[in-house]
Structure 1
Amino acid sequence: MKYVGLLIFTLSVSFGALAQLNPEEQKLADMLVSGSDKQLKDATVSIAKSANQNTELLDMVAEILLKKYPNAYPSEIDTLAWMARALGNSENGRYYNAVNTVVENAKHKKLVRHAETALDDIDEASGEQYVEGMASLPASLFARESNKDRDARVMALITAGDLRSLKEGARTIIDTRTENQALTDMLAEILITHHSSAADNQIDTFAWIARTLGQDRSGRYWAILEEVKENGANRKLRKYAKKALQEHGDAKGEQYKAGMLGKAVKDYAY
């Protein structure tokens, strides 16, 4: 339903408030509200690199930046930094206060750094300042998926059987700060099953699993990470397991052990 709503919105703006956009800018506007993280970033990078001056388009960028930055996931920071750059490259004083809000309140150092640069490029406030809410974008554009839907999506990724999906699942747990023992137990079983015989093409993904278990502060995966640190098939994997152990902290409560999942895991050979 989210994407249907965004499609309706996109079609409506084609004949409304954004009529002043040229065809290329209209395409960028559609990408900004597509609901796709990749399209959002691609559009933002294009706007920033071209130093686009169209305030209809820049207002959309400012609105998305102001809405998203307070609770942004780590994976979103790069896109938000490009948004700040897009506003800065315009050198339009209309966005001074908006960017300054990010400088003063953002929690992520990279975003603050890029926003500070953007503020320097804008130099000073001039004219009517952009205020959150001026650009009317659909609320669904900023909605987070429910924990239930997210966890189901991550479990599907982990159990798909291929390394790319497995890595995406592990990274999503870190990125969204997910706390779900069923998911981390599944990752622990995969890691303990394959750590000592992992092929070169598997190491990076299994290192991400170690990182994911490390950020779980329950102490449940200490024994698993200790085993991987000592007997992992690759130096990189052992290194990440060691770092994950330090983050994970001391062993607490019942330790996860091989086989506790109660079912065999896939081989993740490719």
Structure 2
Amino acid sequence: MKALLSLTLGALLSFNVLAALSPQEQKMEGMLLSGDLAQAKRVAKAISSEELFNPELLDIVAEILLRSYPDARPSEVDAVAWLARSLGFSENGRYHAVLKEVVTSTGIDKLERHADSALDDLGDASGEQYQRGMYTMAPSLYAPVPKDARNAQVTELIMAGDLRSLKQAAITVYETNIQDQAILDMLAEILLREHADAPDRQIDTLSWVSKALGQSESGRYAAVLAEVEENGAHRKLRGYAEDSLENHGDAQGEQYQQGMVTTKLGTYDF
């Protein structure tokens, strides 16, 4: 009988937690648990604008913030900053320690500023402070991608053969400072093949490819970038190649030359 009573109470408690979220908030919960920072940003903005300050929802936001801020890439900083601001707008002192950690530990100036503003909005700490892990979330959500898995994803994007995938690959290489020679050689091969006659639709993507090569510390791509700076089809592309060459530094060791990659690559027409 006691066991049956415990099960019944447990079910009621679970129901009460679920019922604590409105249908709109339950939809937001699903978006937060998607693992997609773009969706998390949309939720954070909605929480702020619509004043949906339910702690059941804010605890998820706090957990995502703690998981994502240490390794936030440049393209992710705005989303992470919105997570911090939404906690600040709640004026719930439970999240003071979370925001304080971001302010004191992040090395990203923009994120530090937004977290500091959020801390001002929040006010003083009150009650039990939210701590990492209080909300149970799948370990893989918002976790840094292991190096080997990330490199495999980038290679797959390059091999897809379309401009959108190639651009995403180049951005990832640039933002995460990938130094893998096989990946960088493929990007160099594409850039050398396409730069002189590139139509306008390719210029933005090829500019990102130049930036990706420029962040390499090897000095292997100086000749490639110098060629694009001199003979790129568009002023924008030549400008990015010039900046990337300056970032890359002087030539060191064997320079990449067209044809060194024998893997069949796509056409990247669209």
TM-score of the aligned structures, taking structure 2 as reference length = 0.89
Does structure 2 conserve the Cα–Cα contact (< 8 Å) formed by 1:217 and 1:247? Answer: no
The alignment of Structure 1 onto Structure 2 pairs a total of residues equal to 258
Any unmatched runs of 5+ in structure 1? 1-12
Q: Residues 44, 65 of structure 1: CA spacing in aligned structure 2 closer, same or farther, 3 A cutoff?
A: same
Q: Do structure 1's residue 19 and structure 2's residue 16 form an aligned pair?
A: no
Distance 1:163 1:86 in 2: 35
Q: Do structure 1's residue 261 and structure 2's residue 261 form an aligned pair?
A: yes
Does structure 2 conserve the Cα–Cα contact (< 8 Å) formed by 1:44 and 1:86? Answer: yes
Distance 2:150 2:235 in 1: 33
- The equivalent residue for 1:4 is none
- The equivalent residue for 1:161 is 161
SS in 2 for 1:139: coil
Letter in 1 for 2:84: A
- The equivalent residue for 1:210 is 210
More moved, 169-178 vs 110-119:
169-178
More moved, 200-209 vs 35-44:
35-44
The structure having more radius of gyration, on CA atoms, is: 2
SS in 1 for 2:140: helix
| Counterpart mapping for 1:1-270 below 5 A | 15=15, 17-263=17-263, 265-270=265-270
| 1:50-105 per-position Cα deviation (integer Å, ceiling 9, x unaligned) | 23210111111111111221222223211110001100111112212211111111
Distance 1:236 1:14 in 2: 57
Letter in 2 for 1:22: S
Displacement of 1:18 in angstroms is 4.0
More moved, 98-107 vs 15-24:
15-24
Distance 1:36 1:157 in 2: 18
SS in 1 for 2:256: coil
More moved, 39-48 vs 203-212:
39-48
Letter in 2 for 1:93: G
| 1:127-167 per-position Cα deviation (integer Å, ceiling 9, x unaligned) | 22222222222222143333332222211211212111110
Letter in 1 for 2:171: R
Does structure 1 conserve the Cα–Cα contact (< 8 Å) formed by 2:102 and 2:112? Answer: yes
Q: CA RMSD in A?
A: 1.8
**Sequence identity (%):** 52
SS in 2 for 1:244: helix
Does structure 2 conserve the Cα–Cα contact (< 8 Å) formed by 1:48 and 1:83? Answer: no
Does structure 1 conserve the Cα–Cα contact (< 8 Å) formed by 2:96 and 2:125? Answer: yes
- The equivalent residue for 2:6 is none
Displacement of 1:125 in angstroms is 1.7
Does structure 2 conserve the Cα–Cα contact (< 8 Å) formed by 1:18 and 1:56? Answer: no
Distance 1:263 1:59 in 2: 48
Distance 1:72 1:188 in 2: 27
Displacement of 1:16 in angstroms is 6.9
